[in-house]
Amino acid sequence: MSSQQTIKRIAIFGSTGSIGTQALEVIAENPSLFSAEVLTAHNNDELLIEQALKFNPNIVVIGDDKKYAAVKDALASTDIKVFAGEKALEEVASMDCYDLMLAAIVGYAGLRPTLKAIENGKAIALANKETLVVAGDIIMRKAVENRVPIIPVDSEHSAIFQCLIGETRNKIEKVILTASGGPFIGRKPNYLVNVKREHALQHPNWSMGAKITIDSATLMNKGLEMIEAKWLFNLKPEQVQVVIHPQSIIHSMVQFEDGSVKAQMGLPDMKLPIQYALTFPQRIKNDFPRMDFKKITTLSFEEPDVKTFRNLALAEEALNKAGNLPCIMNAANEIAVFAFLRNRINFLDMTDLIEKTMKFNFRHLFFPDINRTSFINLL
């Protein structure tokens, strides 16, 4: 087999976001292992063009139809195929020009391309937690039917995944997702009522996209991760726990039925779980910063304040009640975060909007007989 044939062809759906750009850094550092065959962006045409000229993918997709001409013209001197629109994302996901999809499109928009990739038998490196929140039962069933591996990219789920290697026959008692607490850890509602967009985007440990950073500040991100963990690792709701760990050194833990706890540790750098997902089951050498235990003097843990950060409690409610409620909660959250980022609502208004929406339980109010697959297709 030639060296060219051994290169893993990566399709990055969401290449201009935080995960996508860091994945391209990993690919650039390992040209003998990976090629970027597909790059997609929603509306950041300038960065998509820059990436395409550097990595020379087979295909690029710009989600915003209005920007098709700009991308097409900029890449006219290359052999890169250019497509546009949401339908094109699904069509490209169904193609055989890549080996692994890095699913990094933000929010619900990532669901359909990921589903198409699974139906086409492509391995998935999953960085879009909303896909499993909205349709975890459908996605995991399709993955089993098509013998498709789903490798988590989120640092917490990657940590659990790594802790479970070699533990196939050992029963999980619970998984423990760690949360930094975000920029407002310890704050109360009288402080949060005055929080502005620029404050909420200042995460103390991680560099992430705007939507996930706001979700982290409200603790909704951790609630979404609880639901994601349930589907990824076939858990019951009571087997998923969250603890606040401000240092973000332990990324998550697994407790087995004998009481033993395994934890995965590392500096807060998303390139490590991205690289692990791309290379699994192998680990490869890199020059990422290393932990220095002489400088890590404290690892602390505490219960999350669900009275102040009620999004986590709402997510737990959705996790326990299941049905269409996680999908409804996620939709409300995406709209709430969108409005907050545009200064249309206040920080605490996001939770109020989500809570009010969840009270309209569509499963009984509007769709008493509808199955979950049909409900997803309506959205």
Sequence-separated contacts (24+) of 282-291 with Cβ below 8 Å: 284/30, 284/33, 286/29, 291/249, 291/265, 291/266, 291/267
Which of 25-39, 48-62, 250-264, 351-365 comes out lowest in average pLDDT?
351-365
Mean pLDDT of the chain: 91
What tokens does 86 get?
């949401």
Question: What secondary structure does DSSP assign to 122-181, as a single string?
Answer: -EEEE--HHHHHHHHHHHHHHHHHTT--EEE-SHHHHHHHHHHTT-TTSPEEEEEEEE--
Does the pLDDT value for residue 79 go beyond 70? yes
pLDDT score for 162 = 97
Share of the chain above pLDDT 90, in %: 82
For the stretch 235-271, pLDDT in tens is 999 999 999 999 999 999 999 999 999 999 999 999 9
The string of pLDDT tens digits covering residues 201-232 is 887 666 677 888 899 999 999 999 999 999 99
Average pLDDT over residues 149-157: 96
Distance of alpha carbon 253 from alpha carbon 241, whole angstroms: 10
pLDDT digits (tens, 9 = 90+) for 298-325: 999 999 999 999 999 999 999 999 988 9
pLDDT value of position 237: 97
Q: What is the pLDDT of residues 9-19, one digit of tens each?
A: 999 999 999 99
Q: What is the pLDDT of residue 207?
A: 66
Phi, psi (degrees; rounded to nearest 5) at 277: -65, -35
What pLDDT does residue 287 have? 93
d(CA 87, CA 375): 19
Residues 6+ apart with CB under 8 A from 241: 174, 175, 176, 177
pLDDT score of 379: 40
What is the helix (H) or strand (E) element at residue 13, kind and residue range?
Answer: strand 8-13
Q: Does the pLDDT at position 31 exceed 80?
A: yes
User: Over pLDDT 70: what percentage of the chain?
Assistant: 93
Q: For residue 367, what pLDDT is reported? A: 45
Q: What's the pLDDT band for 23 if we cut at 50, 70, 90? A: very high
What confidence score (pLDDT) does residue 361 get? 62
Residue 199 burial (CB count, 10 A) = 13
- Can you give the pLDDT at residue 360? 77
The answer, yes or no, to whether residue 180 has pLDDT greater than 50, is: yes
**Quick check: 365 pLDDT over 60?**
no
Strand partners, 255: 174, 261
pLDDT average, residue stretch 15-43: 97
| Backbone dihedral angles phi then psi of residue 98, each to the nearest 5 degrees | -145, 165
Nearest to 214 by CA among 352, 333, 41, 42: 333
The domains located in the chain, with CATH, are 3-152 (3.40.50.720), 168-265+306-378 (no CATH)
pLDDT digits (tens, 9 = 90+) for 49-73: 999 999 999 999 999 999 999 999 9
Best CA proximity match to 233, nearest among 177, 313, 316 = 177
User: Sorting pLDDT into bands at 50, 70 and 90, what band is 373?
Assistant: very low
Q: How far apart are CA 138 and CA 120, in angstroms?
A: 15
Q: What is the pLDDT of residues 327-343, one digit of tens each?
A: 999 999 999 999 999 99
State how far the Cα of 108 lies from the Cα of 279, in Å rounded to an integer.
Answer: 26
